[in-house]
Structures are given as C-alpha cells and as structure tokens.
Structure 1
Amino acid sequence: MKILAITTLIALSTLTFASVKSANAQVTSNSSICVSPIIVKGNVTYVSLALTRAKNLARQAAEKVNGGLSKYRAEASMYGPSFEAPCVDDGNNTWTFTFTGSKPGSTTPSVKTIVTVAKDGSEVTVDYNSPISKVN
C-alpha cells in the first residue's frame, strides 16, 4: 500500500512539475489564453492538469480521425506544455483547440483540425478536420 501511495505521489508530482512554467522563461507568442498565470512566492506559474488532459484528448481525437500515428502527427505544440497549446477558453466549461498536422516526418502541415473538449474531459468533439488547401 505504501509503494502504491509513493508511486502515485511521484506520478502526480511529475505531472504537476511538467506543467509549471518559470517566470524567468520566455513566453512565446503561441502561449495559450486557456491558462491564467498564478503568482506563487514571486514566480509566475502556469499549472492546469485539466488543460493538459484536454490537450492530450484533442490530439488523440485528431490522431484517430486521421488514421492513427502511422499516418498522422499533430503539430509540436500539441505534445508540449499545456500553456503552449493553441486553444481558446470558450467560457462554457470547454476549450477549443485549433492545430495542424501532417504525415510523420513531414515538415509541411497538411491537415487542419479543430477539437472542442469539456474541461472535465467528459466530452470530445472533432468540429473540423480537413486538408489544408494549397494556394497557388
């Protein structure tokens, strides 16, 4: 029982620290408006396990509708920290993620996907999934 409790504590700590951003780190223009900064002892942090879960659910939904990981990879921001996720807080207990993806190994995005995820993770909806049209 003690081993299970310690393992759970380590896993939760790892998830929490993976979602923390130091105030000294540079915030990119892709920073999500889905996470509000929290000031803890003078440091600004961005912590949201729910957003991390929602981001993963959105990415997994896109992977599924695009044929799986052997045929599709979402853009890098969908694998990184939750505060970099390209999302909008819809104000109705959902987040909407808008991102691109491509064939594994490709550097050119070929698919645009929009996924809405309930903040509690109970509902995931692929709102849009379509090839990106090429402009001549």
Structure 2
Amino acid sequence: MKRDIRLAATWAIAALAISLPSKALALENFDVALGKQATDPRVVLNNNIDLNRAKNLARQAGVSTNGGLGRYRPENSMHGPATEAPFVDNGNGTWTFTFKGRRPDSSVYSIQTVVTVSKDGRQVNVDYNGPIR
C-alpha cells in the first residue's frame, strides 16, 4: 500500500517536471500577447499580434484593390508568419508591406502592391499598385 502511494507520487512529480518547461513558455507567450516586454526580443517579434493584423490588412487591401480573389492572388509570404512577410518598420508607428501578386490562372507575378498600415490597424493606405518596379 505504501509502495503504491510512493509510486503514484513519483509519477506525479515526474509528470509535473516534464510539463513545467512548456507551461513556462506558454506563460511567456501569454505575456507577450498582452503586450508585456519579454527578455528575448525574438519572442516579441515572432508573436507580434499587431504585425500579423497589419500583414492581413495589407494583403486584404491588395486583394480588394486588384478586384478580389477571383482576379488576383498575393504572394505566399503574405499568408505565412508575419515576420516572413516583406515589410519595413517605418519607425513612425507604421509598417510598409511591398508584395507581388498574380492572376489566379498564372504562375507569373506581374503586379506589385505597396501598402502602409498603422501599428494599431486603424489606417491602411495603398501607396502603389501596378507593374512590378
């Protein structure tokens, strides 16, 4: 009986020890989502909710400007992680995304779109939309 209790306690401690690192990481990511500064700047950038929203707004502006998804497809980088999207931090509270697009029936990118989005997502401006420069 005592042996069973000790064995159960050992398994419980082992399970707790295994789960602690992932829970600590989850709490760190939760802090980042709430806007708290993390010690590792890569964590802040990789989980930047505002940057991801801005990327989505820029992509949607490009699609809308070019006649919708039936007529236009933005490059794949505008669908993936925000940090892999072609953007520049302007240092004034905005990001500028410069990306290519194509017709749905083509594999050749022929359109370039430049969209500036405020970090709070309230302002979206299509700066350029035309042939690839």
Q: Bin the TM-score by the shorter chain.
A: 0.5 to 0.7
| Distance apart, 1:39 and its partner CA | 2.2
- CA offset digits 1:62-105 (Å, max 9, x no partner): 00010000000100000001110100000000000000000114
Q: Residue 60 of structure 2 aligns to which amino acid in structure 1?
A: Q
Moved over 6 A (4+): none
- 1:39 maps to 40
Q: Residue 47 of structure 2 aligns to which amino acid in structure 1?
A: V
Change in 2 beyond 3 A, CA 1:118/1:107: same
- Number of positions where the alignment pairs a residue of Structure 1 with one of Structure 2: 97
Task: State how far apart, in whole Å, the 1-side matches of 2:127 and 2:97 are.
Answer: 10
- 2:7 maps to none
- 1:103 maps to 103
Matched-pair identity in %: 55
Alignment of 1:1-136 (within 5 A): 39=40, 44-45=42-43, 46-132=46-132
TM-score (norm 2): 0.66
- Larger Rg, first or second structure (1 or 2): 2
Task: State how far apart, in whole Å, the 2-side matches of 1:117 and 1:129 are.
Answer: 15
- Higher normalized contact order (CA 8 Å, seq sep 6+, divided by chain length): 1
Unmatched tracts of structure 1, length 5 or more: 1-12, 18-36
Task: State how far apart, in whole Å, the 2-side matches of 1:131 and 1:88 are.
Answer: 20
Q: Secondary structure at the match of 1:52?
A: helix
Q: Residue 56 of structure 1 aligns to which amino acid in structure 2?
A: N
| Distance apart, 1:59 and its partner CA | 0.4
Task: State how far apart, in whole Å, the 1-side matches of 2:105 and 2:80 are.
Answer: 18
Task: State how far apart, in whole Å, the 1-side matches of 2:112 and 2:51 are.
Answer: 20
Q: Residue 114 of structure 1 aligns to which amino acid in structure 2?
A: V
Judging by fraction of residues, say which structure has more helix: 2
TM-score (norm 1): 0.65
Unmatched tracts of structure 2, length 5 or more: 1-25, 31-37
| Distance apart, 1:38 and its partner CA | 6.0
Q: Secondary structure at the match of 1:107?
A: coil
